[in-house]
Amino acid sequence: MTTQERLTISRESQLEDSGYKWGFTTDIEMEMAPKGVNADIVRLISGKKDEPEWMLEWRLKAFEYWNGLQLQDAEPRWAKLRYPEIDYQDIYYYAAPKSQDDAPKSLDEVDPEMLETFDKLGIPLHERERLAGVAVDAVFDSVSVATTYADQLEERGIIFCSFTEAVQKHPELVQKYLGSVVPYTDNFFAALNSAVFSDGSFVYIPPGVRCPIELMTYFRINTEGTGQFERTLIVADEGAYVSYLEGCTAPIRRTSQLHAAVVELVSLDRGEIKYSTIQNWYPGTKDGQGGVYNFVTKRGITGNDAKISWTQVETGSAITWKYPSVILRGDNSVGEFYSVALANNYQQADTGTKMIHIGKNTKSTIVSKGISAGHGENTYRGGVKILPGAENATNHTQCDSLLVGDQCGAHTVPYIEVRNPTARLEHEASTSKVSDEQLFYLMARGISEEDAHHMIITGWSRDVINELPFEFALEAGQLLKVSLEGAVG
Amino acid sequence: MLKIENLHAVVTDSEEEILKGIDLEVNPGEVHAIMGPNGSGKSTLANVLMGKPSYSVTDGDITVDGDSIVELMPDARAHLGMFLAMQYPSEVPGVRPWQFLKAAKDAIDVANGQSKMSVRAFSRLFDEKVTESGINPDLIKRSLNEGFSGGEKKRNEMLQMQVLAPRIAIMDETDSGLDIDALQAVADGVNKMRSPDRSFVIVTHYQRLLHYVKPDVVHILVNGKIVETGGAMLAEKIEATGYRDYLAVR
């Protein structure tokens, strides 16, 4: 049923017309399922992972639901995004590095070329000193290839492993929480993900435990035409704390690639989850050819006195459809969303958040910074919902747009629904341009035009970048700079 | 050092001519004051010298050490040792003065084939100049110029001038809107920086600053032209009689 293909794409021809720094491909033998999706493919994926019956059944139900939506042509189209019709039967739904068949037990057993790829990406897998403080569960295409620091975490009862492993080793936890925040019926892309998800990360922090290190996963899309469907589930039990980092780069592709991930966060009573993302997938060429289509469902739910904080820096992808949200179910719980989204060249981003206040004294903060450059289109889409039982709920929303040049667009679509009169909501919005006066001021001090733009833009994004863990904040600044290259001057 | 010949400049958008043939030569170590009534083109001259894109040079030339700078971008002019203390410094949210000035210093040093200052060495220089300039140390922890009063913005400009130590310092109405203490601080800053290889072009409406900073040469700019050039006495005459006489002959 599977075919093996050896994919080699010359680096030179791929790199020609783009400044994409992380654009390269790896010459590794892949094991792939044929293109297209159907119940058999779902069974194949599940079988490849030797999944228990309940997991396969859940996938099949999800597939049936998705297929129903697809037959009704119910792919969501309300976002301010324009892209060619996606042919779901023209996509590979399963690809695993071949050497994975005899699962590497240590880094020594990992395909050297794969290690080299990680090197290029700057993933510090074998550099111990740089690894200090960070455990990496690296996802190469679909299958996790190496996990570090697992033992250290295990001592504290922390589970940090690939989703596939979690299904095998911790079925009770997975079964309890999978789909509890994002059910497979949630939306078109979440349904598709639920049916065919390949792998992802699973985190469980036991009651009262503070995870001593920041957990990190790198996602990377590598095979031509491969859709990538990660599934991440993070549970902070009562009084637990975890900070989770997700960072992404992808190699250059001529054809568009579909990516539909689902992330579920469960923060039980007094628990806290801080989830930070840097998304830098291939944005397409300067003319808008290719690039990743990123349709992501991210949502968390809180217990009493719990907290969930999303921070994202979104610079990549041709299409971004992403609304990390928090269901504030517990009393006194807190939800936060800090976002910088950049759309340059022909990139389109429709992103924002939903804060759903159910518990009493719940509090949410939204800080969204949208940067549009070139022909980029950036839309903030946010929803704040105060349900009748949410006494004394408060929300503060700050939504700023920055325009670079005069061919780009910034749009703000805030929805507010209040069904309790004690709620207090504040909404601030602004749209600005990098002013000629600011540019002249910086340049008159000797700073180049490009650096001046970069300094003004990162300064403007500071409130969000400061929310990122330190190393990520530095990387985010660099990323904004690289992503804006060519947008100015 | 700085030479201006028959300089004509217009507002880029409207093509309205503001500078109508200016000749000026500033030698090393000299302090020149440019005085004139409102709307005479003083600030335009300061900004044109620094290469502000909203003005375009239509005729004439500006040279530094004999080389024309008219085609140079503002950053390249800064690399040659030029500096403009702005009349209305921009607010730049999220950018710390330290970070801004380190980037500026690095850019200038690198352009001149020098290595960047270490963070420690720069911090020492910065702290020293902060103390000298008398700027409130709390302010410089904030975003650049954000929430600064008019006087604080001007002191911040002086701080930048002291750190970057330019060869040609142009000051665009740095004295306007300052109380007497701030004015004194600005004057002290300039006097301390006066040296045989550094020149100043001080654009001012009033003579006030010139009480504290003795200029070598004073130019009266009216309607885009220099109508009179003289010594420090000329500024005192303006103080007494204003610009009436010049406006009348126009």
B104 has a chain A CB within 8 A of its CB: yes
Instruction: Flag if B94 and A436 touch (Cβ within 8 Å).
Output: no
* Residues of chain B falling short of pLDDT 50: 250
Of A437, A449, A462, the CB nearest to B90: A437
Q: Where are the beta strands (DSSP E) in A303-376?
A: 307-314, 319-322, 325-328, 334-343, 348-357, 363-373
Give the distance from residue A439's alpha carbon to the nearest chain B alpha carbon, in angstroms: 9
Instruction: Flag if A440 and B103 touch (Cβ within 8 Å).
Output: no
A428 has a chain B CB within 8 A of its CB: no
Instruction: Flag if B103 and A458 touch (Cβ within 8 Å).
Output: no
B2 has a chain A CB within 8 A of its CB: no
A458 has a chain B CB within 8 A of its CB: yes
pLDDT value, residue A241: 97
Give the distance from residue B135's alpha carbon to the nearest chain A alpha carbon, in angstroms: 19
Q: How far apart are the C-alpha atoms of A262 and A321, rounded to whole Å?
A: 12
Of B53, B93, B108, the CB nearest to A446: B108
Of A435, A444, A459, the CB nearest to B74: A444
Give the distance from residue B114's alpha carbon to the nearest chain A alpha carbon, in angstroms: 14
> What does the pLDDT profile of chain A (489 residues) look like in tens digits?
332 222 222 222 233 344 555 555 555 555 677 888 999 999 999 998 899 999 999 999 999 999 999 988 888 888 898 888 888 888 888 876 554 444 445 555 555 555 554 554 454 443 333 322 334 455 554 444 345 566 678 889 999 888 988 999 999 999 999 999 999 999 999 999 999 998 888 999 999 999 988 887 655 454 454 558 889 999 999 999 999 988 765 555 545 588 899 999 999 999 999 999 988 887 887 888 888 889 999 999 999 999 999 999 998 888 999 999 999 999 999 999 999 999 988 999 999 999 999 999 999 999 999 999 989 999 999 999 999 999 999 999 999 999 988 899 999 999 999 999 999 999 999 998 888 999 999 999 999 998 999 899 999 999 898 888 876 777 777 778 777 776 664
Q: Which residues share a beta bridge with A353?
A: A382
Instruction: Flag if A444 and B54 touch (Cβ within 8 Å).
Output: no
- What are residue A218's phi and psi, to 5 degrees? -105, 130
Instruction: Flag if A446 and B75 touch (Cβ within 8 Å).
Output: yes
Q: How far apart are the C-alpha atoms of A178 and A58, rounded to whole Å?
A: 10
Domain that holds residue B148: 2-249
> With b meaning 16 or more CB within 10 Å and e meaning fewer, what string describes B52-62?
beebebeebeb
A489 has a chain B CB within 8 A of its CB: no
Using a CB cutoff of 8 Å and minimum separation of 24, what contacts does A405-410 make? A405/A373, A405/A374, A405/A487, A405/A488, A407/A374, A407/A375, A408/A343, A408/A372, A408/A373, A408/A374, A408/A375, A408/A376, A408/A377, A408/A378, A409/A372, A409/A376, A409/A377, A409/A378, A410/A370, A410/A372, A410/A378, A410/A379
Instruction: Look at chain B and report how many structural domains it folds into.
Output: 1
Instruction: Flag if A463 and B108 touch (Cβ within 8 Å).
Output: no
A447 has a chain B CB within 8 A of its CB: yes
Q: Which residues contact B154 (CB under 8 A, 6 or more apart)?
A: B85, B89, B174, B175, B177, B178, B182, B186
Give chain A positions within 8 Å (CB) of B83.
444-445
Q: How far apart are the C-alpha atoms of A63 and B13, rounded to whole Å?
A: 61
What DSSP string runs through B33-84? EEE--TTSSHHHHHHHHHT-TTEEEEEEEEEETTEE-TTS-HHHHHHTTEEE
What DSSP string runs through A356-386? EE-STT-EEEEEEEEEEETT-EEEEEEEEEE
CA neighbours closer than 13 Å in the CB half-sphere of residue A6 = 1
Supply the CATH number for residue B146's domain. Answer: 3.40.50.300
Give chain A positions within 8 Å (CB) of B143.
459
Instruction: Flag if A441 and B86 touch (Cβ within 8 Å).
Output: yes
Give the distance from residue A447's alpha carbon to the nearest chain B alpha carbon, in angstroms: 5
Q: How far apart are the C-alpha atoms of A33 and A325, rounded to whole Å?
A: 33
Of B79, B83, B92, the CB nearest to A459: B92
A421 has a chain B CB within 8 A of its CB: no
A 41-70 near B (Cβ less than 8 A): none
Instruction: Flag if B94 and A437 touch (Cβ within 8 Å).
Output: no
Q: How far apart are the C-alpha atoms of A169 and A389, rounded to whole Å?
A: 39
B 109-148 near A (Cβ less than 8 A): 111, 143-144
Of A436, A437, A455, the CB nearest to B103: A455
Q: How many CB pairs under 8 A join A and B?
A: 84
Q: Pick from A282, A301, A172: which is nearest to A219 by CA?
A: A282
Mutation to test the B interface, candidates A432, A440, A467, most B Cβ within 10 Å = A440
Give chain B positions within 8 Å (CB) of A447.
75, 103-104, 107
Mutation to test the B interface, candidates A442, A464, A480, most B Cβ within 10 Å = A442
Mutation to test the A interface, candidates B12, B13, B75, most A Cβ within 10 Å = B75
Give chain B positions within 8 Å (CB) of A453.
none
B154 has a chain A CB within 8 A of its CB: no
Q: Pick from B248, B92, B181: which is nearest to A462 by CA?
A: B92
Name the maximum alpha-carbon separation found in chain A.
Answer: 68
Are B34 and B202 in contact, with CB atoms under 8 Å apart? yes
Q: How far apart are the C-alpha atoms of A467 and A463, rounded to whole Å?
A: 7
CA nearest to B50 within chain A: A444
Give the H or E element holding residue A411.
strand A409-418
Structure tokens at A112: 């050297």
| Complex-level ipTM | 0.96
Give chain A positions within 8 Å (CB) of B107.
445-448, 451
Q: Which residues contact A127 (CB under 8 A, 6 or more apart)?
A: none
Q: How far apart are the C-alpha atoms of A453 and B37, rounded to whole Å?
A: 35
